[in-house]
């Protein structure tokens, strides 16, 4: 037989593509947090977004940098608005054992700084979560 069978190659490539598509968003988050589970559907990832993480002990992270108490407002004020005049989308990651009031404090700081588009990140439970 003179032909090359490419079907196994295509199958392997599709499996690898799916694996990379699933793991790539997980690699973006550098602060390890035990996220709450949700059955919500996934949202679109935007390239110009800001990640705020809150660990179980209440420590707030701006991207991967730990912030001192009261430093979040200063960091948020320094974020420039986009070409359309809007602030970038914020993805808020909070540990599931964290006090709800602490999450609301951070969301209040975000709202006060002019961030109106906030996505709450969750783990996956029965579907893709975000």
How does pLDDT run across 42-86, given as a tens digit for each residue?
Answer: 555 556 788 899 998 888 999 888 888 888 888 888 888 877 878
How does pLDDT run across 20-45, given as a tens digit for each residue?
Answer: 888 776 666 566 666 666 666 655 55
How does pLDDT run across 118-129, given as a tens digit for each residue?
Answer: 888 777 654 444
Question: pTM (2 decimals)?
Answer: 0.61
Spell out the domains of the chain, with CATH numbers in brackets: 32-124 (3.30.420.270)
Cα-Cα-Cα-Cα dihedral sign, residues 18, 24, 25, 26: positive
Lay out the sheet containing 89-94: strands in order across: 65-66, 60-62, 49-54, 89-94, 118-121
pLDDT band, residue 97 (cuts 50/70/90): confident
């Amino acid at each position: 037989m003179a032909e090359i069978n490419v079907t196994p190659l295509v199958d392997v490539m599709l499996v690898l593509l799916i694996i990379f598509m699933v793991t790539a968003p997980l690699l973006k988050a550098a602060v390890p947090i035990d996220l709450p589970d949700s059955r919500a559907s996934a949202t679109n990832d935007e390239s110009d977004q800001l990640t705020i993480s809150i660990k179980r002990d209440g420590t707030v992270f701006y991207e991967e940098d730990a912030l001192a108490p009261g430093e979040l407002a200063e960091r948020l004020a320094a974020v420039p608005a986009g070409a359309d005049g809007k602030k970038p989308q914020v993805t808020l990651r909070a540990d599931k054992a964290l006090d709800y009031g602490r999450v609301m404090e951070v969301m209040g700081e975000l709202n006060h700084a002019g961030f109106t588009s906030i996505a709450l990140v969750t783990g996956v439970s029965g579907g893709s979560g975000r």
